[in-house]
Amino acid sequence: MSEQSRSEASAPLVSVIIGFKDWGLERLELSVRSIHDSLEGIQHEVVISDYGSEDTASIAESTQRVGARHVIVETDGEWSRSRALNAGVRASVGEIVLATDADMLFTPRALSRAVEQIQRHPHEIIILQCRDLPVGHSHEVVRREGFDWDRFASIGQIRPRWGMGGLVAVRREIWERLRGWDERMHTYGGEDVDFGKRAQAAGSRIDWLDEPGVGMYHIWHPSSGASATRSAAASAAIAANRRIHSTDATFARNRVRPRYLPSGMVPLVSVLVDARTSGAEPLKTTITSILGQSVHDLEVLVVGEAELPDDPRISHMSTDHVSVRGTFVTSARAGEVWAENRLEVLLDLWVPGTGLISDRTIQLLRDENGTALAPLSVVQTSTADPRTTLLRSALLPSSLSACPQGWGVAVRAVAASGAGWVVATSARHVTITDLMNDESVAAERVAEALAITSALVRCGLPAPELPATTVTALGSLANALLYGRELTMEVEAPSAIDLTPYHDLFADDQRWVRRTIRTPKGQILERDVRWSGDDPAYVVEAAQRLAGSGATVHWRYATEADHEPPRPLSVGSLVRTAESIYGTPEKPAVWLAFHKDGGFDDALNEALSKAQSVTVVLDRITEAEGEEASWMLARFRNGNTVEALSLAASLPTPTAIEVIELPAHPQGTEVPQ
């Protein structure tokens, strides 16, 4: 037998998980011994998930003595059976998971029958009928009298079936699709009942295994629930657990930032991406936004060849075979940019009977030159848009999608199942695509409308109400719209550009900050206008109005400095402005900058005018918006720094003088800031 075969032969089929925290070791040892007896002949392991115990050394000795495995789990101090069990499953390897407590005793056939039933019906959740031993029948009595199953049967009191505590047996794959016990629950109670309800919502059947020879008995001890209710904080936690169970109708929990779930589980969502008709950059943008989801547990299946990020969640699929593993499945096209919480919001909306969930899509279009085209006509409610349809923005349970790559088939499967529709306006994503001509757009729109309508009519369902689609521009505007980020728009207009026709755009809007650099004679050197706010639609409108002015308009994410009063114009900025007008970009330049509060006398101007190395003199350049500071600038031929320094030393004026060197830069590029 090979080493691999021996390893597979010895791997446990069953993992029994017990959550534990500084409770009676005698009860624990009795429980583990009964588990070994009940699973005799079946490869199994018993994992004690030690969640916050102080005396870990004694627990380790005890578990070793009875053939169990001791796993210490890092905690935040509060007891949570859900987290303890999840951490125990994470540390285990069995195909079948049995979760129980440290005060339960099992008859010799109980657990083996549960395993047999799961193997026969893989989608079932097995529950054992619990019987409580009477008050006073503690671990001391059991240890003294032994496992007297006939006596236990005669004195044990059947626990009502409104609860499920004691044992839950499930295949690991089902546990992964449910994503374990809800880690929000802590302190005491509710996690098993919630787990069972979710299992049924996901399509599993609860099987109460109650037959001769199959028994589970609870060793008496003081009630932890009663002691917990003495604390106000504990009572609040128990009430919170009850609210989660009664109000959260989803079955897949721990969707965002789970702490104790294992890696490599069944993905929660499979995302299909078709790379066959897209460029590299749109595809890269789409994949990045998918991998950046707050829901990390997903797989991205890319159909077609493409250069992709190095991430284990990405797989290539052939065009003729797409196999999804996720509990839910959705699709994305190259060019889509998803809001980071898109999947999180859609999954939160899932309830039993809902087969398809759609979201709001912001459509971003560009022409063949890559220029953003906006605003465009808004797609009205109930109108199928070719790039914003229910088929393209859907989250489906995988079991309903017999043909994942064919969304028409998926929609018909949902409709035929009688499932409902949910449209979420808060889980938005963006589609960036090339502009199609009007005729092809109209043709595709009609085709999509007919496909959806005919599928629904055949199934007797009304067409879903689609929210209106917002159209805006690209890049940072899309992210600002998605994530609520503020933007700053900057308008740069050299002297040759007349902004007078746009006076009404800037005049009464306090979000605009205006600055104009002039000479004393009124000559405009440059305008610098800046807007900051959280209205991307206004950015689009303003940019469109300014498009024919010749000014340079660009936007970026806003910073804290954008909300501060404008700073006085720096000498360096002033020199770069003058150089852009009077200089030669291919050659280096040296400028003398004289700075003085108030005006200059004629002696300085005369001295500069007589200097043969000076090519340009700009006298008394001031900045508008009420600033009183003045500058005088002198540019030196061939960038001669030595001559500039010599002249500066010989001038008879008590002003601040700076020598500023500007390197050469290629025509059309920005001057280094």
pLDDT higher at 322 or 400: 322
Give the whole-number percent of the chain exceeding pLDDT 70.
71
Do the strands 104-106 and 216-218 form a parallel or antiparallel pair, or are they unpaired? Answer: antiparallel
Residues belonging to the chain:
673
pLDDT at site 467: 34
pLDDT value, residue 121 = 94
Phi-psi category of residue 178: left, alpha or beta, with phi > 0 → left and psi -120 to 50 → alpha: alpha
* Cα 448 from chain centroid (whole Å): 30
Q: Which DSSP category does 115 fall into?
A: H
Specify the pLDDT at position 516: 75
Task: Say what the pLDDT of residue 377 is.
Answer: 29
123 vs 614, more confident: 123
Distance, CA of 370 to CA of 356 (rounded, Å) = 34
Label residue 72 by pLDDT band (50, 70, 90): very high
Predicted TM-score (pTM) above 0.85: no
pLDDT bin (cut points 50, 70, 90) of residue 672 is: very low
Task: Quote the pLDDT of residue 554.
Answer: 76
Torsion of CA 51, 55, 61, 62, to 10 degrees: -70
Instruction: Classify burial at 656, counting beta carbons within 10 Å of its beta carbon; exposed 0-12, middle 13-18, buried 19 or more.
Output: exposed
Report pLDDT for 444: 43
Distance CA 30, CA 145 (A): 12
pLDDT given at position 589: 86
**Residue 653 confidence (pLDDT) above 80:** no
Q: Is the dihedral of CA 341, 342, 343, 344 positive or negative?
A: positive
Quick one: average pLDDT of 636-640?
Answer: 74
Segment 604-628 shows an average pLDDT of 69
Question: Which of 172, 358, 381, 398 is closest to 270 using CA atoms?
Answer: 398
The segment with the largest mean pLDDT, out of 13-22, 388-397, 425-434, 660-669, is 13-22
Average pLDDT over residues 286-311: 86
In degrees, rounded to 5, the angle at the alpha carbon of residue 186 between the alpha carbons of residues 181 and 188 is: 100
- φ, ψ of residue 289 in degrees (nearest 5): -70, -30
User: Residue 250 region, left (φ>0) first, then alpha (ψ -120 to 50), else beta?
Assistant: beta
Tokens coding 201: 């919502």
Q: Quick one: pLDDT at residue 2?
A: 41
CATH class of this structure's domain 571-662: alpha beta
- Pick the range with the lowest mean pLDDT from 87-96, 144-153, 254-263, 478-487: 478-487
CB 512 within 8 A of CB 506: yes
Strands 298-303 and 336-338: unpaired
**DSSP 3-state assignment of 636?**
strand
Residue 269: the pLDDT is 92
Give SS3 for 588.
coil
Q: How many CB atoms lie within 10 A of CB 249?
A: 15
Residue 133 CB-half CA count within 13 A: 25
Q: What is the pLDDT of residue 216?
A: 94
CATH number of 11-247: 3.90.550.10
**pLDDT of 566:** 64
Secondary-structure breakdown of the chain: helix, strand, coil percentages, each rounded to the nearest 5: 35, 25, 40
Alpha helix positions (H), 1-133? 3-10, 25-38, 56-65, 81-90, 110-120
Report residue 489: phi and psi, to 5°: -110, 130
Residue 193 has pLDDT above 90, yes or no: no
269-478 fold: Spore Coat Polysaccharide Biosynthesis Protein SpsA; Chain A (3.90.550)
Say which residue, 670 or 291, is predicted with more confidence.
291
Range from 96-110, 250-264, 418-432, 578-592 that averages highest in pLDDT: 96-110
pLDDT at 609: 75
Mean per-residue pLDDT, 13-35: 94
Q: Which tokens go with 576?
A: 């770069």
CATH number at 486-563: 3.30.70
The answer to whether 185 and 191 are in contact (CB under 8 A) is yes
pLDDT of residue 160: 73
At residue 227, the pLDDT reads 52
Q: What is the 3-state secondary structure (H, E, C) of 255-321?
A: CCCCCCCCCCCCCCEEEEEECCCCCHHHHHHHHHHHHCCCCCCEEEEEECCCCCCCCCCEEEEECCE
Domain definitions of the chain by residue range? 11-247, 269-478, 486-563, 571-662
Distance separating alpha carbons of residues 221 and 224, to the nearest angstrom: 9
Look over the chain and give the mean of its residue pLDDT values, rounded to a whole number. 76
User: Same CATH topology for 11-247 and 269-478?
Assistant: yes
Q: Number of C-alpha atoms within 13 angstroms, CB side, residue 362?
A: 28
pLDDT above 90: residue 261: yes
- Strands 96-100, 14-20: pairing is parallel
Given a contact cutoff of 8 angstroms between Cβ atoms, the answer to whether 89 and 15 are in contact is yes
State the average pLDDT over residues 23-30.
Answer: 91
Work out the average pLDDT over 118-135. 92
Interval 529-546 mean pLDDT: 79
Tokens for 486, please give them: 């503020």
Pick from 172, 5, 23, 40: nearest CA to 104: 23
How many percent of the chain have pLDDT more than 90? 25
Tokens of 647: 């002249």
Q: Is residue 110 pLDDT above 90, yes or no? A: yes
Residues 425 and 442: their CA atoms lie apart, in Å, by: 25
Binning pLDDT at 50, 70 and 90, where does residue 391 land?
Answer: very low
Select the more confidently predicted residue: 503 or 115: 115
Show Cβ contacts of residue 417 under 8 Å, excluding neighbours closer than 6 positions.
Answer: 355, 400
- Average pLDDT of the residues in 200-215: 89
Burial-class residue 236 by CB neighbours within 10 Å (0-12, 13-18, 19+).
exposed
pLDDT, average across residues 272-281: 76
The gap between the terminal CA atoms of the chain, to the nearest Å, is 71
pLDDT class of 190 with cuts at 50, 70, 90: confident
Indicate if the pLDDT at residue 534 is higher than 50. Answer: yes
Over residues 313-330, the mean pLDDT reads: 81
Q: Which residue has the higher pLDDT, 28 or 487?
A: 28
Residue 299 has pLDDT above 90, yes or no: yes
Tell me whether the omega of the peptide bond preceding residue 12 falls within 30 degrees of 0, making it cis.
no
CA dist., res. 401 & res. 398, Å (int): 5
Q: What is the spatial distance between Cα 497 and Cα 526, in angstroms, rounded to a whole number?
A: 9
C-alpha span between 39 and 31 (Å, rounded): 13
495, 499, 525, 630, 656 from 522: Cα distances, Å? 11, 15, 9, 14, 24
Predicted confidence at residue 643, as pLDDT, reads 81
The answer to whether residue 316 scores a pLDDT higher than 90 is: no
Tens-place pLDDT, residues 498-533 = 888 888 888 777 788 877 777 666 677 767 788 888
Q: 164-189: buried (b, 16+ CB within 10 Å) or exposed (e) per residue?
A: bbbbbbbbbebbbbbbbbbbbbbbbb
Give the pLDDT confidence score for residue 482 in this predicted structure. 47
pLDDT in tens, 160-183: 765 566 899 999 999 999 999 999
Which helix (H) or strand (E) segment is 139 a member of? helix 139-145
Which has more confidence, 584 or 108? 108
Local confidence band at 93 (pLDDT 50, 70, 90 cut-offs): very high
pLDDT attached to residue 413: 65
Identify the band that residue 389 occupies on the pLDDT scale cut at 50, 70 and 90: very low
Q: What is the mean pLDDT of residues 644-667?
A: 76
pLDDT of residue 176: 93
Q: Is the pLDDT of residue 300 over 80?
A: yes
pLDDT of residue 435: 46
Mean pLDDT of 49-64: 94
